Structure 1
Amino acid sequence: MSDKDNNQDVNPSGPDIEEPKDDEHYEKVCYMCRRPESKAGQMISMPGGMNLCHDCMQKAFDSVTKGGMDFSKLGNIPYMNMNLSDLNTTPPAMEIPKKQKIKKKTQEQPVLTMKDIPAPHIIKSRLDEYVIGQEKAKKVVAVAVYNHYKRAFLDNRSAQGDAAPDEDIVIEKSNILMIGPTGSGKTYLVKTLARLLDVPLAIADATSLTEAGYIGDDIESVVSKLLAAADNDVERAQRGIIFIDEIDKIAKKKQTNTRDVSGESVQQELLKLLEGSTVEVPVGSNQKNAMTPMATVNTDNILFICGGAFPDLEEIIKERLKKKSSMGFGSVLKDTYDNDPDILKHVTNEDLRAFGMIPEFLGRLPVTVTLQGLTEDMMVRILKEPKNAITKQYEKLLSMDEVKLVFEDDALRWIAEEAGKRGTGARALRAILEEFMLDIMYEIPKDSNIGSVVVTRPYLEKNGGPLIQMRG
């Protein structure tokens, strides 16, 4: 045996340690479409550690040749230094099929039963642990998700052939429109729902959507995000939930001389997704091109939740309410609704049309729920009651330094009052805490004898410092 062969058997880590093979723990991923070998089939290894699936390799040859190239004739091409050790053929006589069936993992999917569907009150109770207030919004979302699970249950029964004689009744989805001021918890409510429930959920931003052919994301990109959230499982994605945030940003522009490529036209293109249609979306990418594989997704059973702040909508509602009666005993005073903190609950489709939403778009969002603006009492509760409260996060950080952090009630009340002045809702709470906790988080690790820190109102008002107690 040569020295070269002996060197190959020597493990630099030691004679008793056997290095694990990469193939045992990792599978190859296509360099173009990012699909693993279990999804795209056997890979072709290129120099430099790059792997390509057969679909992307075929598209690469088709894009550079007019007539295309059949992989079955690849054996007549001079050997291109490919690493084809995984194939059971030698390079001069190799034959690669044009398309290879995708390998699917033989894992049985759990059968969905009625016992597995969480009741609305259970969903709401779990949301109550993280979201303060907004009772109406949590009820609407809980019922919508509950009915969404029921549709999934009926689909599974139909696929298994267990449909009852009355199964010709089709349950349609009720898409939701959430309206609330900034910082009231629209996005946080949906994100919390995604963590609590085992259903694919994608959150998209309407501000990046543009008309087809212009710079920006196409409408189908929101379905692509859902497909990615479902691990490219089309059947699972077709029973998912899509939350489109900042939906008010695609309202019809008023008095514009340029083409409205991100307003009314985007609403028109969203109609087919909201109502239900079959669309082709790229797998593993938001952009369509010749190298990206496509997947067909049916949006009939996808639940859409649209949310937006709708600034200045309050003024539109007030103008409509004031026009009811201006004279006599039933007249409405001009300042009747000026100080109404829950003015959004009076919203109608007429107000939304005046804002710039087209009637066809509103017709496909039959459920409208409004969120209340946060009061000082609600902000104080947000600071200390949820499981993931901001104050609890700081207490956790300092506990890692074996320091106890305490917030006085007067201090929390001052933070809530200051956040109300900024007008950005719950987002202002973290901004204020970040500002005042900076010195504490910087100074405490300097002295290991500090045992506890108490944040007081005088410290927040810059009339003193926090109360620090030493150990022992």
Structure 2
Amino acid sequence: MSSGEGVGPVDSSARQILAELRKTVVGQETAIRDLATLLAMHSEWFLNPDDDHTAPNALIIGPTGVGKTHAIRRAAQNLHIPLAVVDATQLGGLGSGVNLEDILVELLTTSRRLMKEKKLPAGSLNDDGLAYLDELKVASRGIVFIDEFDKIATRNKQTNERNELVQRRLLQFIDGASVTLNPSPEASHQEVTFNTAGLMFVVAGAFTGLTDDMGARPQPRARALDDPNQIIPDDLVRFGFMKELIARIPVIIVFEELGPADLVEILRNPATDPSLFYQRYLKSLGADLVIDDSALTQIASDAAALGIGARGLHQRIFPLLARLSQQVEDDPVEAVVLDQAKLDRLDQELERIRLDR
């Protein structure tokens, strides 16, 4: 494949996708291997589209803060494939909330930007290095990522009617629908017909309590499992999803909860370490910050106990380093070492401040 100015070939192999994901996604080797393979399949289909045989859609299950959304964003960015991300709780039926049509318009907008930046997906250049895919074709081969998918389950009377409507509407799009859009009516753009058959849908959520009632599974299917903890479609139907919808999302990828060792790895990786933000801020105040291994390990352990994944690192770090920055402003120094003893003193100070309020 030739490349035009500013455009390079995109390596869409599962090996390369996995290598990129490993740079910033921690503790999820099995999950990102499966995700890389799935996205490589979709990228290959992008080269040779066949609307009758598309890559399967996927469901990602995992607690908050473990990298589900980050992984799909990073992969799509590296592959130059248009991606639309939406929170399922914002989805509405016809005429309410965020319509699925809005997602298709977002894909068109992203495709337009990618083509303008000459960041085109694999296979989108001809031998002269000129784009032969228009923005509609690029958009119609994109990825739709729906987060908080578990929140549209029909589990209680208050949400049953609304969630069932959203599920049925989503089923139409996943099945393949031709949708008429006017992406920019104020600019008098012509209407376009968007065929959703080539989109990949990836949905994700925590699905808390999904495996609480294993005994309700059909016993023949339960006995056939090599791993009794394996999640099966029956679990998702019992959780509150239409069987027809789950049948169209056949791939299940599980992200595990992050433990202290995973959070230590995040803190030691310059590509993911949230403390670098605070280090730069302290540097602007004239102080170099060093976090030694004892404090780093304690921070990771405390953050893991919060049960919100990598997001717990910010919750643990901010009070500590905000207090440190205040001390540096009051009493300038050239260097600060955060070790276990300093960490303990800061925690004691913060506790006294909290009690004095």
Post-superposition CA distance 1:177-200 (Å, at most 9, x none)? 000112222112122224333111
| TM superposition shift of 1:444 | 2.6
Q: After the TM superposition, list the runs of 4 or more consecutive aligned residues in structure 1 that deviate by more than 4 angstroms.
A: 108-111, 445-448, 463-466
The alignment status of 1:352 with 2:246, answered yes or no, reads no
- Is 1:395 aligned to residue 279 of structure 2? yes
1:303 aligns with 2:200: yes
SS in 2 for 1:148: helix
Distance of aligned partners of 1:146 and 1:462 in 2 relative to their CA distance in 1, 3 Å threshold: same
Kept in 2, the 8 Å contact 1:201–1:229? The answer is yes
Counterpart CA distance in 2 for 1:374 and 1:172 is 33
RMSD, aligned CA: 3.4
Which ranges of structure 1 fall in alignment gaps of 5 or more residues?
1-107, 156-167, 325-329, 331-342, 467-472
Kept in 1, the 8 Å contact 2:12–2:44? The answer is no
**1:112-151 to 2 correspondence within 5 Å?**
116-151=10-45
Q: Following TM superposition, by how much is the alpha carbon of 1:360 offset from its aligned partner in structure 2, in angstroms?
A: 0.7
Matches within 5 A, 1:242-321: 242-254=144-156, 256=157, 260-261=161-162, 263-284=163-184, 294-317=191-214, 319-320=215-216
Equivalent position SS for 2:48: helix
Aligned length: 321
User: Over alpha carbons, which structure has the higher Rg?
Assistant: 1
Deviations 1:42-99 (A, max 9, x none): xxxxxxxxxxxxxxxxxxxxxxxxxxxxxxxxxxxxxxxxxxxxxxxxxxxxxxxxxx
Structure 1 equivalent of residue 119 of structure 2: none
Measured after TM superposition, the shift of residue 123 of structure 1 is 1.0
Is the aligned partner of 1:217 residue 2:98? Answer: yes
Query: Within 1, Cα distance between the matches of 2:202 and 2:228?
Result: 18
Q: Output one character per residue of 1:312-332: Cα deviation in whole Å (capped at 9) or x when no partner.
A: 113134x458x89xxxxx9xx
CA 1:394–1:195: 2 relative to 1, 3 Å? farther
Residue identity in the other structure for 1:277:
A
**Closer, same or farther in 2 for the Cα pair 1:312/1:169, shift >3 Å?**
closer
Please give the alpha-carbon distance, in whole angstroms, between the structure 1 residues aligned to 2:284 and 2:159.
56
- What is the distance in 1 between the residues matched to 2:322 and 2:33? 38
1:165 match = none
Contact 2:85 2:147 in 1 (8 A): yes
Contact 2:51–2:198 (CA under 8 A) maintained in structure 1: no
| Contact residue 181 and residue 373 of structure 1 kept, 8 A | yes
2-structure distance, mates of 1:197, 1:400: 36
Distance 2:229 2:290 in 1: 38
Q: Is the 8 A contact 1:208 1:217 kept in 2?
A: yes
CA deviation vs aligned residue, 1:276-298 (integer Å, no higher than 9, x gap): 2211234148xxx9x88643211
Task: Note if contact 1:384-1:390 (Cα within 8 Å) is conserved in structure 2.
Answer: no
Residue 269 of structure 1: how far off its partner (Å): 0.8
Identity over aligned residues, as a percent?
30
Contact 1:127 1:138 in 2 (8 A): yes
SS at 1:230's partner residue? helix
d(CA) in 2 for partners of 1:169 and 1:265?
A: 26
Aligned-residue offset at 1:270: 0.6
Alpha-carbon distance in 2 for matches of 1:380, 1:457: 15
Quick one: which amino acid aligns to residue 462 of structure 1?
A: R
Closer/same/farther in 2, CA of residues 257 and 248 from structure 1, 3 Å limit = closer
Partner AA of 2:327 in structure 1: E
CA distance in 2, matches of 1:265, 1:353: 16
| More helix per residue | 2
| CA drift at 1:415 | 1.7
CA shift in 2, pair 1:245/1:386, >3 Å: farther
Determine helix, strand or coil for the equivalent of 2:145.
strand
Kindly state the Cα deviation for residue 345 of structure 1 after the two structures are TM-superposed: 5.3
**CA-CA distance at 1:368 after TM superposition:** 0.5
1:454 aligns with 2:329: no
Larger RCO, structures 1/2 (Cα 8 Å, 6+ apart): 2
Distance 1:131 1:356 in 2: 30
Question: 2 CA distance for matches of 1:350 and 1:258?
Answer: 21
**1:217 offset after TM fit, Å?**
1.7
Residue 193 of structure 1 is matched in structure 2 by: 75
Contact in 2 for aligned 1:253/1:260 (Cα 8 Å)? no
Structure 2: which amino acid aligns with 1:227?
L
After TM superposition, the structure 1 = structure 2 runs for residues 16-165 of structure 1, keeping only pairs within 5 Å, are: 116-155=10-49
| Structure 2: 5+ residue stretches without partners | 114-134, 350-357
Identify the residue that residue 369 of structure 1 maps to in structure 2.
Answer: 253
Q: Deviations over 1:425-469 (max 9, x none)?
A: 221111111111112233334555x22211122333336899xxx
Q: Name 2:297's counterpart in structure 1.
A: 413
Whether the aligned pair in 1 keeps the contact of 2:51 and 2:197 (CA below 8 Å) is no
